[in-house]
Amino acid sequence: MKLMIASDLHGSAFYCRQLLAAMEREQPDKLLLLGDILYHGPRNDLPEG
């Protein structure tokens, strides 16, 4: 099984696009996101729910 591990995107559209491109290129079976997907500072509101 091929795993891709990522963390600390911090709400960055640039790094999200880089991750999606790497996933398309490498074709992992699973993606493991370790956290810090959003930046909870003044740029991003906390998601509801």
**What is the residue range of 33's domain?**
1-49
Asked whether 3 and 29 are in contact (CB, 8 A), the reply is yes
Domain count, the chain: 1
Residues 6+ apart with CB under 8 A from 46: 38, 40
Residues 6+ apart with CB under 8 A from 33: 6, 7, 9
Task: Specify whether the backbone of 7 is left (phi greater than 0), alpha (psi in -120 to 50) or beta.
Answer: beta
Q: Output the CA angle 20-38-30, nearest 5 degrees.
A: 40
Answer yes or no: is pLDDT of 46 > 80. Answer: no
| 6-41 per-position pLDDT tens digit | 998 888 889 999 999 999 999 999 999 998 877 766
